[in-house]
C-alpha cells in the first residue's frame, strides 16, 4: 500500500526536538490523516503503528495520538468487548487461541489486547504475546497486541482503552481484553468491557476459596477450563458448586444471570456455548438498554478517572510534597498527627 | 464547672470578621486549650462544643478545630469502633438503644455517632437522633450525636472521623457509628471502624436478595433482628441461610470468620452474644496484629482520600471547568469525543 510509506514516517520521523516549525507540524498532521485513513481501511500494519503512537511516552506523540483517535472515533464500529481473566496456569492463552479461532471461522474479526499489571513494573509484557497464540497470530482476521507498558496501571489501562478505539475503527468487531488476577487489573478491565468472563480450574471442592473478593460479582460468565480427561468429573462438580454460589448473589443491574459452564480449550469443547451465552447477553442488554447505558457510564468513568489521576500525579510529583510525605506518614503511624491535619499540611505546601 | 464559661466563648465568640488581631488569636488558642482540657476531663458539654467546632464550615473554626484535635489526639483512649448498618425499618435505633444500655451497664462508656448520606442533601439528620433513643440519651455514660451535615458525603465522613477522636479523648471506650444502606455510606463507615455489623430482618427465604453488593463481604457479623414472637422461626431459617452463604465467601484478611446470630432488640435477647462476638474479634485481631494494621491502613486511607477530595473539589470549583464540563459530557455521550481527549481539554483549562 502506497500510503504505508507516509505513516511509517509518522513514528520514525517524529523527533520532538525537530518538530518545531509550522511546516513540520502541518506535515505531521497530514501523516496522521493518512494513518487514520489506513487504519479505517483495515490495514493491520497501520493499526500497529497507531497503537505504538498511543503508547508512546513522548509528549509530541501523545498529542498526535489524540488527533489520530479523534479521527478514528466516528469510524469505531459497533463491537462487543469481552474481558477475560483468570490466574496464571488457568490456560488463558489456549482458551483465547481456541475461542478466537472459533470466532474468525464464524467470519468475525478478533482483536486481542491485554492489561498486564506486571508490565507497569517490569516494562515487560507477559499477556497478549503472539508467541503464545501461534495459530491465532497467523490468522488474517485476528490482531494480537501484547500489553502496553507504563509507569502505572492507570497508564497501561488508558493506552489499552485508546487501542480499543483504534481496533474498532480498523473493523474489529470482537475485542478481547485479557488480564490476570492480580491487584486492581480486573476492576480496570471490567470498566472497559461489555462482558466479563472468569476462567477457573476445577479445584478440591471448596471452589470459591482463593478467588479474590469482588471478582465473582463482576463475572458475567464463569468458565471452568481444562474439563478434559480425568478432570471432567471434578469440572462438573465445580460447575454445580459455582452455580449454587452464584444463586446467592444479588441480581445484577444488567438483569443478566451469570452462567457457569465447563470447557476444554485444548479439545475445542464448550467454546460455542460460551459464544452463544455472550450473544444472549448482548441481545438482552441491548433490548433493555443496559448495553448502551454501561458504555456511557464507562466513558464518564474514564473521563473522571483521567482527571483524577492527572491531578494526583501532578500533586505527588511536587518536590516539597515528595519530601514531606514520608515524614508525615511516619507521624501518622505513631498517632502523633491526624490524617486530616497531615493532609492539610501537604495541601498547603502545593499552594505556596 | 468553671472552665465551661471559657469554651462557651470559643464557639459563640469566634466571629471570623473580628478575629484579626494577634491578641484575639492568642485568646482563641487559650480557649481551645481550655476546651481540650475539659473534653479530656470527660465533660459532655465540652465534647458537644468540640464536635460543633469540627462541624463548622467557617474557615477560622476549621483551623481552631484542627488545633483542638491535635491536642486531643494523644489522649484518645484505646477504644473499639463498631459500625452498624441496615436498611430503614430494620430497627437500628432500638438495637443501639438496647445494645448501648447493655454496654453502659457493664461499665462501658458509649458514644453513638452517625453517617447519614441524606444529611449531605437535606441538611437534616435522621440518624443518631437522641429522640429515637430515649433511654440511652438519659444515660450519663452514653453520648449521642446526630449525623453531621455537609455538602458531600466525604465532608460528613471527615467530620464524623474527627468526632471519633474527640469522643475517644473524652474517655468513650465504645464508639458506635450508625449508617443506613444507601450509596457509598457503608464503605465510608467501614473505613473508619474496627468491626462492622449488618442488621437484617428475616425475609421470605431468599435472604441475600436485596442486599447491596459488597456489604456481605464487609460484615464481621450479621445480626437478624426482630427475632421475637411469630418471627422467631423465620429468623432461625434466615440465620441458617446466611451462615451457608457466608461459608462460600473467601476468608478475610483479619482471619475472623463472620458470625450470624439472631436477636430481639426490643426484648433485649441475643445482645450479650453479639458483644461476646465483638470481644472475640478484638482478642483475635489484637493477637494477630490485624487490629493495629487496619487502623494504620485506615489512617493512610483517610490521608490520601482527603488530599484526593481536596484536589478534585478545587478542580471542579473552577469557573471554566464548570462551564465546559456539561458540554464535553454531552459530546462524550454522542461518542463525538474520547473520554481521554475530553479530560485533557478540561485539564488544560485549569493550567491557564
Residues A338, B162: C-beta atoms closer than 8 Å: yes
All cell numbers assigned to B287: 493477637
The verdict on A50 and A157 lying in the same domain is no
Query: Closest to A296 (Cβ–Cβ): which among B76, B217, B333?
Result: B333
Residues B300, A161: C-beta atoms closer than 8 Å: no
| Average pLDDT of chain A to the nearest whole number | 85
Chain A residues with CB inside 8 Å of B299's CB? 332-333, 335, 339
Give the end of a domain, one of A246, A267, A288.
A288
Query: Closest to A342 (Cβ–Cβ): which among B250, B303, B340?
Result: B303
Mutate to test the interface with B, among A305, A306, A322 (most CBs of B within 10 A): A306
Closest residue in A to B249 (Cα–Cα): A208
Looking at residue A17, what is its pLDDT?
43
All cell numbers assigned to B258: 463472620
Looking at residue A117, what is its pLDDT?
72
Is a pLDDT exceeding 90 seen at residue A170? Answer: yes
Residues A340, B69: C-beta atoms closer than 8 Å: yes
Q: Which CATH number is B238's domain given?
A: 3.40.50.300
Is a pLDDT exceeding 50 seen at residue A3? Answer: no
| Residue B292 counted as domain residue | no
All cell numbers assigned to B85: 448498618
- Mean pLDDT across the stretch A283-298? 95
Mutate to test the interface with B, among A338, A342, A345 (most CBs of B within 10 A): A338
Query: Closest to B342 (Cβ–Cβ): which among A209, A303, A335?
Result: A303
Residues A340, B251: C-beta atoms closer than 8 Å: no
> Mapping DSSP to helix (H, G, I), strand (E, B) and coil, where does residue A113 land?
strand
Q: What is the least distance, in Å, from the CA of B72 to any CA of chain A? A: 10
pLDDT band of B213, cuts 50, 70, 90:
low
| Average pLDDT of chain B to the nearest whole number | 85
The verdict on A168 and A269 lying in the same domain is yes
> Mapping DSSP to helix (H, G, I), strand (E, B) and coil, where does residue A151 land?
coil
Looking at residue A182, what is its pLDDT?
61
Q: What is the DSSP letter of A217?
A: H
* pLDDT tens digits for range B281-311: 999 999 999 999 999 999 999 899 889 988 9
Q: What is the least distance, in Å, from the CA of A275 to any CA of chain B? A: 27
Residues A306, B213: C-beta atoms closer than 8 Å: no
Distance CA A66, CA A68 (A): 5
* pLDDT tens digits for range A119-148: 544 444 456 666 778 889 999 999 999 888
Strand bridging mode A142-144 / A259-262? unpaired
Looking at residue B347, what is its pLDDT?
93
Query: Closest to A315 (Cβ–Cβ): which among B209, B248, B311?
Result: B311
- Mean pLDDT across the stretch B79-101? 92
Q: What percent of chain B has pLDDT over 70?
A: 85
| CB-side neighbour CA atoms (13 Å) of A292 | 8
Looking at residue A154, what is its pLDDT?
78
How many C-beta atoms lie closer than 10 Å to residue A200's C-beta?
25
Q: What percent of chain B has pLDDT over 90?
A: 52
Q: What is the least distance, in Å, from the CA of B118 to any CA of chain A? A: 23
The verdict on B183 and B257 lying in the same domain is yes
Chain A residues with CB inside 8 Å of B329's CB? 300, 303
Is a pLDDT exceeding 90 seen at residue B241? Answer: no
Q: Residues B146, B133: contact at Cβ < 8 Å? A: no
Residues A66, B312: C-beta atoms closer than 8 Å: no
Range of the domain at A10: 4-73
- Mean pLDDT across the stretch B39-53? 96
Chain B residues with CB inside 8 Å of A340's CB? 66, 69, 158, 161-162, 302-303, 306
| Exposure string for A211-236, b = 16+ CB within 10 A, e = fewer | beeebbbbbbbbbbbbbbeebeebbe
Looking at residue B206, what is its pLDDT?
47
Looking at residue B26, what is its pLDDT?
77
Residues B209, A250: C-beta atoms closer than 8 Å: yes
Looking at residue B246, what is its pLDDT?
79
- Mean pLDDT across the stretch B126-147? 84
pLDDT band of B18, cuts 50, 70, 90:
very low
The number of angstroms, rounded, from the C-alpha of B45 to the middle of its chain's C-alpha atoms is 21
Secondary-structure percent of chain B, ordered helix, strand, coil, rounded to 5: 55, 10, 30
Distances (CA, A) of B71 to A234, B38, B60, B89, B172: 61, 11, 17, 40, 17
The verdict on B248 and B144 lying in the same domain is yes
Count of structural domains, chain B: 3
The verdict on B209 and B174 lying in the same domain is yes
All cell numbers assigned to A312: 494526583
The verdict on A207 and A273 lying in the same domain is yes
Q: What is the least distance, in Å, from the CA of B248 to any CA of chain A? A: 6
Contacts 24+ apart (CB under 8 A), A202-209: A202/A226, A202/A227, A202/A231, A202/A234, A202/A235, A202/A237, A202/A238, A203/A234, A203/A238, A205/A237, A205/A241, A207/A238, A207/A241, A207/A242, A207/A245, A208/A241, A208/A242, A208/A245, A208/B248, A208/B249, A208/B250, A209/B250, A209/B251
Looking at residue A77, what is its pLDDT?
64
All cell numbers assigned to B301: 486511607
Residues A245, B250: C-beta atoms closer than 8 Å: no
Q: Which CATH number is A309's domain given?
A: 1.10.287.130
Give the end of a domain, one of A20, A39, A73.
A73
Is a pLDDT exceeding 50 seen at residue A204? Answer: no
> Mapping DSSP to helix (H, G, I), strand (E, B) and coil, where does residue B112 land?
strand
The verdict on B304 and B282 lying in the same domain is no
| Exposure string for B168-187, b = 16+ CB within 10 A, e = fewer | bbbbbbbbbbbbbbeeebbe
Give the end of a domain, one of B287, B318, B334.
B287
Q: What is the least distance, in Å, from the CA of A309 to any CA of chain B? A: 9
All cell numbers assigned to A100: 478466537
Is a pLDDT exceeding 80 seen at residue A278? Answer: yes
Query: Closest to B249 (Cβ–Cβ): which among A74, A208, A301?
Result: A208
Is a pLDDT exceeding 90 seen at residue B41? Answer: yes
Looking at residue A74, what is its pLDDT?
85
Transcribe A19-83 into DSSP letters: TTSHHHHHHHHHHHHHHHHHHHTT-HHHHHHHHHHHH---HHHHHHHHHHHHHHHTT----EEEE
* pLDDT tens digits for range A53-84: 999 888 889 889 989 998 998 888 689 999 99
Mutate to test the interface with A, among B297, B339, B345, B351 (most CBs of A within 10 A): B339
Chain B residues with CB inside 8 Å of A66's CB? 338, 340-341, 344
Looking at residue A183, what is its pLDDT?
60
* Residue that has been written with the C-alpha cell 476549621 in this structure: B62
Q: Residues A245, A216: contact at Cβ < 8 Å? A: yes
All cell numbers assigned to B172: 468513650
Is a pLDDT exceeding 70 seen at residue A164? Answer: yes
The verdict on A215 and A199 lying in the same domain is yes
Chain B residues with CB inside 8 Å of A211's CB? 250
Closest-CA residue to B299 (of A331, A125, A306): A331
The verdict on A189 and A314 lying in the same domain is no
Query: Closest to A311 (Cβ–Cβ): which among B162, B248, B312?
Result: B312
The verdict on B62 and B132 lying in the same domain is no
> Mapping DSSP to helix (H, G, I), strand (E, B) and coil, where does residue A104 land?
helix
The verdict on B198 and B318 lying in the same domain is no
Secondary-structure percent of chain A, ordered helix, strand, coil, rounded to 5: 55, 10, 30
The verdict on B277 and B334 lying in the same domain is no
CB pairs under 8 A between A and B: 148
| Stronger pLDDT, A234 or B78, i.e. the higher one | A234
Distance CA B253, CA B240 (A): 24
* pLDDT tens digits for range B182-197: 667 888 899 999 999 9
Query: Closest to B341 (Cβ–Cβ): which among A66, A217, A336?
Result: A66
- Mean pLDDT across the stretch A327-346? 90
Amino acid at each position: 500500500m502506497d500510503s504505508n510509506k507516509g505513516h511509517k514516517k509518522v513514528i520514525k520521523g517524529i523527533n520532538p526536538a525537530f518538530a518545531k516549525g509550522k511546516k513540520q507540524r502541518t506535515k505531521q498532521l497530514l501523516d496522521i490523516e493518512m494513518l487514520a485513513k489506513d487504519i479505517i481501511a483495515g490495514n493491520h500494519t497501520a493499526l500497529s503503528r497507531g497503537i505504538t503512537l498511543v503508547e508512546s511516552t513522548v509528549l509530541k506523540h501523545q498529542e498526535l495520538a489524540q488527533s489520530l483517535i479523534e479521527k478514528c472515533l466516528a469510524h469505531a464500529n459497533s463491537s462487543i468487548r469481552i474481558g477475560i481473566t483468570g490466574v496464571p496456569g488457568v490456560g488463558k492463552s489456549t482458551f483465547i487461541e481456541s475461542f478466537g479461532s472459533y470466532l474468525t471461522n464464524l467470519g468475525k474479526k478478533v482483536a486481542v489486547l491485554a492489561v498486564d499489571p506486571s508490565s507497569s513494573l517490569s516494562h515487560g509484557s507477559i499477556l497478549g504475546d503472539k508467541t503464545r497464540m501461534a495459530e491465532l497470530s497467523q490468522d488474517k482476521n485476528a490482531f494480537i497486541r501484547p500489553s502496553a507498558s507504563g509507569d502505572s496501571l492507570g497508564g497501561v489501562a488508558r493506552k489499552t482503552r485508546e487501542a480499543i478505539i483504534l481496533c474498532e475503527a480498523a473493523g474489529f468487531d470482537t475485542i478481547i481484553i485479557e488480564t490476570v488476577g492480580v491487584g486492581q487489573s480486573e476492576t480496570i478491565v471490567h470498566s472497559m468491557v461489555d462482558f466479563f468472563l472468569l476462567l477457573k480450574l476445577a479445584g478440591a471442592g471448596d471452589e470459591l476459596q482463593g478467588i479474590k473478593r469482588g471478582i465473582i460479582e463482576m463475572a458475567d460468565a464463569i468458565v471452568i477450563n481444562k474439563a478434559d480427561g480425568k478432570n471432567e468429573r471434578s469440572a462438573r462438580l465445580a460447575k454445580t458448586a459455582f452455580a449454587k454460589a452464584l444463586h446467592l448473589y444479588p441480581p445484577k443491574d444488567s438483569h443478566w444471570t451469570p452462567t457457569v459452564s465447563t470447557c476444554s480449550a485444548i479439545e475445542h469443547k464448550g467454546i460455542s456455548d460460551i459464544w452463544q451465552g455472550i450473544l444472549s447477553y448482548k441481545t438482552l442488554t441491548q433490548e433493555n438498554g443496559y448495553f448502551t447505558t454501561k458504555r456511557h457510564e464507562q466513558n464518564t468513568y474514564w473521563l473522571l478517572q483521567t482527571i483524577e489521576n492527572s491531578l494526583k500525579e501532578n500533586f505527588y510529583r511536587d518536590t516539597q510534597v515528595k519530601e514531606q510525605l514520608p515524614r508525615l506518614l511516619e507521624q501518622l503511624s505513631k498517632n502523633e498527627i491526624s490524617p486530616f491535619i497531615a493532609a492539610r499540611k501537604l495541601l498547603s505546601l502545593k499552594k505556596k
